[in-house]
Amino acid sequence: MKILYLSLILANSMLFCESANILYLMPFTAKSHYIGMKNLAIELARRGHDVYAITPFRETEHPATYHQMMVSDEPVWKRLFDVPPRVFDIMDESFESFQNIMYKFGFMMNEFVFESKDVQEFMKQDHKIDVVVAEVFFNEGLYMFAHKYQAPLVLMTTVGNSLKGNFYMSNPLQLSILYHEYGKHSEPLSFFGRLYNLYMCTYDLAMLKFWYFPRLQESTLQYLKDLPEPVPTLEDIASNAAILLLNSHYSIDNAAAYLPNIIDVGGLHIKETNDTLPADLQNILDNAKSGVVFLSFGSNVQINEMDTDKLQAFLKVFGELKQTVLMKWEKEPLQNISKNIILRKWFPQKALVAHPNVKLFIGHGGLLGLQETIAAGVPILGVPVFGDQYLNIIDTIQKGHGDILNYKEINEDILRKKINKLLNDKSYTETAKKIAARFKDRPMKPLDTAVWWTEYVIRHKGAEFMKPPTMSYIAYHNLDVYLFVISVIGFALYTIFKTISVVKNVLKSQQTKKLKKK
């Protein structure tokens, strides 16, 4: 019996991964992206791995094996523009213009990282790295670290399904059901929605392949010297990634076909803890007998930048509600507002939306905040501003647990109707509760899933066997075979029609000769 028991212990121990050295890249200065990635980094360190995190945000409480290399925390908008625009003005940018702004982020990420003294010191030292973890978000230049240290690359997204992620992993793009993350169309699956999606994806991939990657490669190699030869292209490195951790889940997104090395970990940042609300907030929520409406535009969008008339519309309609309104407000307190409106510079959103008295969440549609609200089973009113926010809110409409409020259309009448509909129509809450139940019903928690697969890549030295065969784009998609078949059929049809034409001409000639003889 003891031998059997020891054998079971030995078998289970083989499933665990020995301590590894992990280079973890999260240099983007938007706090939401950091929040989406940090839990995995800290959890890997907690489980005994040495995690070397490149980040602009310093953690004060962390395991001893979590090592921080600090990079600039300068907002990208400040470096990109002489006079940073209001966030709400970005809505007027065309898709092409917005994408071009995003491409510039890639070059700035190189500057932020390679100009860091911590990173420079790290690169001077002799490190053995077992895996590199990086985000699919305009920091592809940093993927060259995977080649520098001859380590497998693990990619992850914070914006859910990603066109570039599917492209890198050679996953079918499925453009009929998987929309470009920055697309804006009220009916994504309609004919014109799909036509526009084809245009956006074609534009983005063409720019990525023929403009962005060549220039980013040149920028990266200015910083990284003495790399192992031959030096691959950044596209090749991205396409050779071991796995992609996708901030998505079929319970809340369109079901799609994924290769085995693409893993759903939607809600990764929603780490289950015993977080409690501050005593004063707990008291406010407990005593809100008519319920609570919570408004927050996250860390990247500040509501104080909203046009005055639209802000006043919010305050006027909020003042009419019987519910208590909690409103994230970053500047000095507003004067002469209704007593039911409570302003704070920060709210613990995850714990707050989970309180049973919260009846409605109003936000900009950022995926992380949206997932926290979905997990809590609370209806959503979205005011999308940029990026993936529009598509995220459209999805809540299609699923039946949310509605959209277009920024330019905000006025008292529209706002009043939208809020009252979501508060008084019970179907929104009932649907939100059903979606929350299925979102949380999984064999493993998202964080545990992400840790397991990252360690799997380490255990199996990159898990090459999970990837599709290495082939050219044309061969992988069978385009050469299709072209051959079409050519054969075309030639056969041409031969048949040509033969018929020749026979007809011969017959016609013979008939003409007979008529002449007569």
3-state SS string for 267-288: CCCCCCCCCCCCHHHHHHHHCC
Better-predicted residue by pLDDT, 331 or 357:
357
Number of other CB atoms surrounding residue 203 within 10 Å:
14
Looking from the CA of 5 toward its CB, the CA atoms found within 13 Å total 2
Statement: the pTM of the whole predicted model exceeds 0.85? yes
Q: Span 155-181, mean pLDDT?
A: 91
The answer on pLDDT for 168 being more than 80 is yes
Tally of residues, the chain:
518
Say what the alpha-carbon torsion angle 309, 311, 313, 316 is, to the nearest 10 degrees: -130
Position 276 scores a pLDDT of 78
pLDDT band at 403 (very low <50, low <70, confident <90, very high): very high
The answer on pLDDT for 289 being more than 60 is yes
Position 477 scores a pLDDT of 80
The answer on pLDDT for 159 being more than 70 is yes
Q: Is the Cβ–Cβ distance between 323 and 290 less than 8 Å?
A: yes
Q: Which residues contact 454 (CB under 8 A, 6 or more apart)?
A: 22, 40, 44, 131, 133, 154, 243, 245
The answer on pLDDT for 503 being more than 50 is yes
Q: Judging by beta carbons within 10 Å of its beta carbon (0-12, 13-18, 19+), is residue 365 exposed, middle or buried?
A: buried
Cα–Cα distance for residue pair 51/129, rounded to 1 Å: 10
Beta strands 153-156; 131-135: pairing state: parallel
Provide Rg for the chain, Cα atoms.
Answer: 28
70-84, 165-179, 477-491: which range is least confident on average?
Answer: 70-84
Q: Span 337-364, mean pLDDT?
A: 93
The predicted-structure confidence for 194-252, as pLDDT tens digits, reads as follows: 999 999 999 999 999 999 999 999 999 999 988 999 999 999 999 999 999 999 999 99
Q: Which of 365, 285, 302, 295 is nearest to 327 (CA)?
A: 295
The answer on pLDDT for 85 being more than 90 is no
Buried/exposed 211-242: b ≥16 CB within 10 Å, e otherwise: ebbeebbebbeebbeeeeeebbebbebbbbbb
Cα–Cα distance for residue pair 374/389, rounded to 1 Å: 15
The answer on pLDDT for 273 being more than 80 is no
Beta strands 324-328; 292-295: pairing state: parallel
Q: Percent of the chain having pLDDT more than 70?
A: 95
What's the sign of the alpha-carbon dihedral 194, 197, 203, 209?
negative
Q: Which helix (H) or strand (E) holds 263?
A: strand 262-264
Position 198 scores a pLDDT of 94
Cα–Cα distance for residue pair 44/55, rounded to 1 Å: 16
Q: Which amino acid is at 320?
A: E
Q: Judging by beta carbons within 10 Å of its beta carbon (0-12, 13-18, 19+), is residue 302 exposed, middle or buried?
A: middle
pLDDT band at 92 (very low <50, low <70, confident <90, very high): confident
Q: Span 431-448, mean pLDDT?
A: 96
Q: Is the Cβ–Cβ distance between 349 and 296 less than 8 Å?
A: yes
pLDDT band at 191 (very low <50, low <70, confident <90, very high): very high
The answer on pLDDT for 12 being more than 50 is no
Cα–Cα distance for residue pair 161/174, rounded to 1 Å: 11
Beta bridge partners, 133, equal 24, 154
Position 1 scores a pLDDT of 46
Q: Which helix (H) or strand (E) holds 153?
A: strand 153-156
The predicted-structure confidence for 452-469, as pLDDT tens digits, reads as follows: 999 999 999 999 999 988
The answer on pLDDT for 3 being more than 80 is no
Position 75 scores a pLDDT of 81
**DSSP letter, residue 262:** E
pLDDT band at 80 (very low <50, low <70, confident <90, very high): confident
Q: Span 334-341, mean pLDDT?
A: 90
Cα–Cα distance for residue pair 455/132, rounded to 1 Å: 12
136-145, 189-198, 302-311: which range is least confident on average?
Answer: 302-311
Cis peptide before 214 (omega within 30 of 0): no
Position 386 scores a pLDDT of 86
Say what the alpha-carbon torsion angle 181, 76, 135, 402 is, to the nearest 10 degrees: -40
Beta strands 21-25; 50-55: pairing state: parallel
Q: Which residues contact 254 (CB under 8 A, 6 or more apart)?
A: 177, 178
Q: Terminal CA-to-CA distance of the chain, rounded, Å?
A: 111
- Listing DSSP states for 378-439 in one string gives --EEE---STTHHHHHHHHHHHTSEEE--GGG--HHHHHHHHHHHHH-HHHHHHHHHHHHHH
Cα–Cα distance for residue pair 423/323, rounded to 1 Å: 10
Buried/exposed 324-338: b ≥16 CB within 10 Å, e otherwise: bbbbbbeeeeeeebe
Which whole-number Å values give the CA distances from 104 to 125, 167, 213, 297, in the listed order? 30, 20, 12, 25
Position 486 scores a pLDDT of 96
Q: Span 471-498, mean pLDDT?
A: 91
